[in-house]
Amino acid sequence: MARTYAGFCLRAPAFLDCALSLMHRPARDLRAIVSESVWFRLGQGMAGCVEHVAQILRSGVQTGDFAIEEPDYLANVLWTQALGIMHLARFRVAIHEPAPNIPQIVPIRPEAVIDSCVHAAIATAMHAH
């Protein structure tokens, strides 16, 4: 699921931009500037995405693969975590400091970021309570 979602974010940069834009402000601020119908449709769209993740987590709890107390909360964490990680794939560079106060830009492969997204999702799910 994480690989599919990450791949979609990479192939659909407008989705990633829109999702990150919506999360740019607190929900109460967003709610104050959109109509009731837009707020409802946003909720439907986001809940539909997050519910797929929550179902996988609930299934993992039932089989004993995960020890998660709040699958719905963790689904939101994983969904948001993936958006942030995939923004790095879109950016296509990382930065580090090879010497004090000397920044260096290093190109990154989007496929490597997708792998990181998958590993982060698994690690988060395996260590959540």
DSSP of 9-77:
HHH-HHHHHHHHHHTTS-HHHHHHHS-HHHHHHHHHHHHHHHHHHHHHHHHHHHHTS---S-HHHHHHH
Kindly report the pTM of this predicted structure.
0.84
pLDDT given at position 25: 87
Q: How confident is the model at residue 129 (pLDDT cuts 50, 70, 90)?
A: low
CA distances (Å), origin 37, targets 19, 50, 76, 125: 18, 20, 22, 33
pLDDT, tens digit, 9 for 90 and up, residues 62-94 = 999 889 999 999 999 999 999 999 999 888 999
Q: How many CA atoms lie within 13 A of 92 on its CB side?
A: 3
pLDDT given at position 49: 87
CA-based radius of gyration for the chain: 17
44, pLDDT greater than 80: yes
Average pLDDT of the chain is 92
* Cα gap 129→127, rounded to integer Å: 7
